[in-house]
Amino acid sequence: MLLHRILRAHVARPSRISSISSFTQPVRSFSTTWRNYQQNPLDPTRGLPDIDASKLEVTETITPKEILPNKDLIFGRTFTEWTASDGWHTPRITPYQNLSLDPATCVFHYAFEAFEGMKAYKCSKDNSLRLFRPDKNMARLNKSVARIALPTFDGEAFTKLIGEFCKLDQRFIPSDKGYSLYLRPTMIGTQRTLGVGPSGSALLYVIASPVGPYYPTGFKAISLEATDYAVRAWPGGVGDKKLGANYAPCIVPQLKAAAKGLHQNLWLFGEEEFITEVGTMNLFIALKDKETGQKELITAPLDGTILEGVTRDSVLALARERMEKDGWKISERYLRMSELAAAQEEGRLIEVFGAGTAAIVAPIRKILWKEKMIDCGLQETEEAGAVAMQMKNWMEAIQYGEDDSTSWSYTVQ
Amino acid sequence: MLLHRILRAHVARPSRISSISSFTQPVRSFSTTWRNYQQNPLDPTRGLPDIDASKLEVTETITPKEILPNKDLIFGRTFTEWTASDGWHTPRITPYQNLSLDPATCVFHYAFEAFEGMKAYKCSKDNSLRLFRPDKNMARLNKSVARIALPTFDGEAFTKLIGEFCKLDQRFIPSDKGYSLYLRPTMIGTQRTLGVGPSGSALLYVIASPVGPYYPTGFKAISLEATDYAVRAWPGGVGDKKLGANYAPCIVPQLKAAAKGLHQNLWLFGEEEFITEVGTMNLFIALKDKETGQKELITAPLDGTILEGVTRDSVLALARERMEKDGWKISERYLRMSELAAAQEEGRLIEVFGAGTAAIVAPIRKILWKEKMIDCGLQETEEAGAVAMQMKNWMEAIQYGEDDSTSWSYTVQ
């Protein structure tokens, strides 16, 4: 979901790395470690203590970080963190620090790693600290780690710890709308072994970075290359889990798209060329039915090959609640690339956008498919369609506590 | 390829972790680092210095490790290493030490990691140090890292460095046959970034562990569960590369097989249930043709879903050179699970074995498939078939320098 900004920078200047890697000094880390859980290999956590938020230990930094002006809060530049370091039993918040790991640690060899992306917001009305649907992130992280035999954990307890962490660093979250603290819960296997087996120890940590608006000067529509030589996920694979394993193989298709001046790649599946995801975001397509003219908002179904995006789920729920009454049909279904192309040719394509935590929505201008450039419905002077804009506004109103009609905004106590 | 030993321990005693993680103190590491290679995103290494073996810097440990008696040289217990740390330009051999990495390093989040498994042997005839087909490992590692946009390197130069490393620690390699120094070349992405893009820096390191015979008391045949709920690899994926991403998702199927008292899982693909790999080894099946009675040795073809095993390639080459003249047909072709079952029912199944660096060959006793236990042709008192035994002998004769008829044994100068 951080792809857009990076890819854009990439296209604009090939030596983008210097700008990405020059982080300023982060300030804090939170961590909890877990060891020796091999009582039952298929249920490693059974009978062992879960995370106990009441045992949290906090070590304040002695060199507090200076608050940067909002304009410098660029995604991925400044970090404040939690780092996992001392057992499920005693969660800790410490100053940001490196991890010291044996080179035979299994995370380096066999990709024992899973993560989440989430954000903390300051409520526009009362300045309270808010998380957005943290239960969804915790449930997904637990599903991800279970798939690679890492230990699961109590998501509610961990959400409380994330709240404590955010409170300590809330001065880094500007109250201006669009600003937030990006949070990266991460679990890695830490056992030192070259044997391919379950990791006997794990580290769960969170790092954070104050971030500004994803589109500081308004939406910027992106263009895609439909990838026909590589496949992101497969039935029976792990494409629906947020595992590190799903990400490194995405880079070459990204770079190949960038080499053609496009921002990101579009993943297709099978001979039918079903539309699945864009880069590391879910994808939504709005079009009119050929027969009835009914407007339909479509995203790929959760068949095991699609990441179960929290933004995807939220967009679907909001669309069902607020757009169906205006005649929209909201569909989780397969859509072939050829159907999208036909809709465009016949003037039935309304708009296309990606959905993810970083940008909420990423409007798509065009898609290169089989040497054909498909226009996705935006006017030349337009950077986003009406549905994408509406969704971003609806989502932000909930995230910043202006819209209390859902139970999605979690107030940190 | 280390699965067999681990899985067996796992079945025998669920709390196997203590025995795996209790490494004794390793002694040395080798490393080379690579930074800022983003000149051309699709060819990151172009125009930049490659590894220069002549610039090697060696830092001797001040606490040399005691040589352990051979009986304690259990796979994965004792380490001596190379650790990557200071640029492709200046490779280093240093005492074994932890890696210190920022928790936002991309290897922890997006699985920027690839590795190799290889061994150094002491020649039975002249005590010279030998590597087995290191060019194959270097070529494969280069293919693996290129697939995840990590930098490639000069495989010959790196092989020389591995040789230097082995020479320094050759006192850890017993000259008894069956003993060797297991080597683990590893490359990880080290850029500190949460953006999903190519890593701007990388670390290439080698760690090593003296190992004893894989079958200290003779062959031990293993039994498998055919996995029908998960898929290891798919066309357009990365299953033919030795990436960390391919390994963590293998653990749960391993554990499920273990829960049924079986040692490992067998990966099938597609509706046809084509036989692909066993755990993390390639698989060979020997059977007689239904019509002609001709003996055939079969392994899955390299269609992008099969790891291009060095042992696989060597077994095929030896079989073609030494078995065809005895009437064997040597085939890289698809074989359905149902065909294997039919061959067994009709008394045409000769033997089945896995092939990998750790064990060379791993004879298979039986396979559980759809609630049916398929006997793979071994007598009850037998732990290996004739082809597997022959292959192990042929391979070891080459690895230990007794058979000079191939160019596969590389003498460290």
Q: Is A196 left (phi over 0), alpha (psi -120 to 50) or beta?
A: beta
Mutate to test the interface with A, among B23, B35, B182, B251 (most CBs of A within 10 A): B251
For residue B186, the chain A residues in CB contact (below 8 A) are 103, 108-109
The residue type of B327 is G
How close does chain B come to A365, measured CA to CA in Å?
21
Q: What pLDDT score was predicted for residue A67?
A: 55
Q: Give the residue, B86 or A234, on which the prediction is more confident.
A: A234
How close does chain B come to A296, measured CA to CA in Å?
31
Per the CB < 8 Å rule, is B251 touching A198? yes
Per the CB < 8 Å rule, is B248 touching A39? no
Q: What pLDDT score was predicted for residue B16?
A: 24
> What CA–CA distance (Å, rounded) separates A281 from B385?
51
Phi/psi at A125 (nearest 5 deg)?
A: -90, -50
* Dihedral angle over CA of B334, B336, B339, B340, nearest 10: 90
Domains of chain B with CATH codes: 5-211 (3.30.470.10), 222-411 (3.20.10.10)
Residue of A nearest to B194 (CA): A76
Picking from B29, B112, B249, the nearest residue to A147 by CB comes out as B249
Cα A404 to Cα A395, A410, B253, B363: the distances in Å are 11, 11, 44, 63
Of the given ranges (A85-89, A243-247, A389-393), which has the lowest mean pLDDT? A85-89
For residue A2, the chain B residues in CB contact (below 8 A) are 194-196
Per the CB < 8 Å rule, is A108 touching B110? no
How close does chain B come to A202, measured CA to CA in Å?
12
Per the CB < 8 Å rule, is A81 touching B103? yes
For residue B251, the chain A residues in CB contact (below 8 A) are 148-149, 196-198
Of the given ranges (A22-26, A383-387, A399-403, B245-249), which has the lowest mean pLDDT? A22-26
Per the CB < 8 Å rule, is A76 touching B184? no
Listing DSSP states for B28-43 in one string gives: -EEEEEEE--TTSTTS
Picking from A39, A197, A254, the nearest residue to B251 by CB comes out as A197
For residue A107, the chain B residues in CB contact (below 8 A) are 107-108
Q: Which single residue is written with the structure tokens 């409520």? A: A123
The residue type of A39 is Q
Residue A268: CA atoms inside 13 Å, Cβ hemisphere, count?
Answer: 21
For residue B41, the chain A residues in CB contact (below 8 A) are 10, 14, 255, 258-259
The helix, strand and coil proportions of chain A, stated in percent and rounded to the nearest 5, come to 25, 30, 45
Contact B244, A108 (CB under 8 A): yes
Q: Which helix (H) or strand (E) holds A66?
A: none
pLDDT digits (tens, 9 = 90+) for B372-382: 999 999 999 99
Average pLDDT over residues A138-154: 94
> What CA–CA distance (Å, rounded) separates B200 from A21?
8
Picking from A108, A182, A230, the nearest residue to B186 by CB comes out as A108
Listing DSSP states for A17-29 in one string gives: HHHHH--B----E
Residue of A nearest to B112 (CA): A248
Q: Give the residue, A12 or B366, on which the prediction is more confident.
A: B366
Q: What pLDDT score was predicted for residue B255?
A: 95
Of the given ranges (A291-300, A353-362, B55-64, B133-142), which has the lowest mean pLDDT? B55-64
CB atoms within 10 A of CB A10: 25
Per the CB < 8 Å rule, is B98 touching A98? no
Per the CB < 8 Å rule, is A244 touching B102? no
Per the CB < 8 Å rule, is A110 touching B247? yes
Phi/psi at A92 (nearest 5 deg)?
A: -135, 145
Q: Does residue A171 sit in helix, strand or coil?
A: helix
Q: Which single residue is written with the structure tokens 């001392």? A: A86
Residue of A nearest to B244 (CA): A110
Q: What pLDDT score was predicted for residue B33?
A: 63
Average pLDDT over residues A247-275: 97
Per the CB < 8 Å rule, is B109 touching A115? yes
Q: Is A274 left (phi over 0), alpha (psi -120 to 50) or beta?
A: beta
Mutate to test the interface with A, among B7, B21, B22, B242 (most CBs of A within 10 A): B21
For residue A194, the chain B residues in CB contact (below 8 A) are 2, 76, 182, 184, 207, 209
Residue ranges of chain B with pLDDT lower than 70? 1-49, 59-87, 89
Contact A178, A213 (CB under 8 A): yes
The answer to whether residue A46 scores a pLDDT higher than 80 is no
Strands (E), A190-316: 201-211, 222-227, 264-269, 274-278, 281-288, 295-299
Positive or negative, the CA dihedral B102, B103, B107, B110 is: negative
Per the CB < 8 Å rule, is B244 touching A246? no
Cα B380 to Cα A48, A276, A388, B199: the distances in Å are 41, 50, 67, 52
Picking from A38, A41, A252, the nearest residue to B147 by CB comes out as A252
- For residue B285, what are the β-bridge partners? B298, B352
How close does chain A come to B10, measured CA to CA in Å?
9
Q: What pLDDT score was predicted for residue B89?
A: 58
Tokens of B263: 């040692």
For residue A79, the chain B residues in CB contact (below 8 A) are 104
pLDDT digits (tens, 9 = 90+) for B61-108: 655 555 555 444 333 333 333 333 444 757 888 777 888 999 999 999
Average pLDDT over residues A340-351: 98
Q: What pLDDT score was predicted for residue B46?
A: 63
Contact B77, B208 (CB under 8 A): no
Q: What pLDDT score was predicted for residue A297?
A: 98
CA angle B323, B325, B331 (to 5 degrees): 50
Q: Which helix (H) or strand (E) holds B207?
A: strand B201-211
How many Å separate Cα B286 from the centre of its chain?
22
Per the CB < 8 Å rule, is A76 touching B193? yes
Cα B31 to Cα A26, B86, B94, B158, B182: the distances in Å are 28, 7, 8, 10, 16
Q: Does residue A330 sit in helix, strand or coil?
A: strand
Picking from B101, B231, B244, the nearest residue to A237 by CB comes out as B231
How close does chain A come to B55, measured CA to CA in Å?
23
CB atoms within 10 A of CB A87: 18
> What CA–CA distance (Å, rounded) separates A34 from A142?
14
Residue A42: CA atoms inside 13 Å, Cβ hemisphere, count?
Answer: 9
Contact B4, B56 (CB under 8 A): no
Q: What pLDDT score was predicted for residue B316?
A: 98
Positive or negative, the CA dihedral B327, B330, B334, B338 is: positive
> What CA–CA distance (Å, rounded) separates B349 from A214?
62
User: Per-residue confidence at A221, pLDDT binned at 50, 70, 90?
Assistant: very high
Mutate to test the interface with A, among B194, B206, B238, B307 (most CBs of A within 10 A): B194
Per the CB < 8 Å rule, is A38 touching B17? yes
Per the CB < 8 Å rule, is A194 touching B184? yes
Q: What pLDDT score was predicted for residue B32?
A: 64
How close does chain A come to B113, measured CA to CA in Å?
6
How close does chain A come to B140, measured CA to CA in Å?
15
> What CA–CA distance (Å, rounded) separates A121 from A70?
14
Q: What pLDDT score was predicted for residue B65?
A: 58
Q: Which single residue is written with the structure tokens 């500007």? A: A174
pLDDT digits (tens, 9 = 90+) for A87-139: 475 788 877 788 899 999 999 999 999 999 999 999 989 999 999 999 999 99
Average pLDDT over residues A24-52: 56
Per the CB < 8 Å rule, is A112 touching B2? no
Per the CB < 8 Å rule, is B195 touching A40? no
Q: Which single residue is written with the structure tokens 């961990």? A: A158
Per the CB < 8 Å rule, is B236 touching A237? no
Per the CB < 8 Å rule, is A197 touching B256? no
- Return the percentage of chain A with pLDDT > 90, whole number: 62
Per the CB < 8 Å rule, is B248 touching A245? yes
How close does chain B come to A272, measured CA to CA in Å?
15
Tokens of B166: 């082995």
User: Per-residue confidence at A259, pLDDT binned at 50, 70, 90?
Assistant: very high
H helix count then E strand count, chain A: 9, 20
Residue of B nearest to A268 (CA): B236
Per the CB < 8 Å rule, is B248 touching A207? no
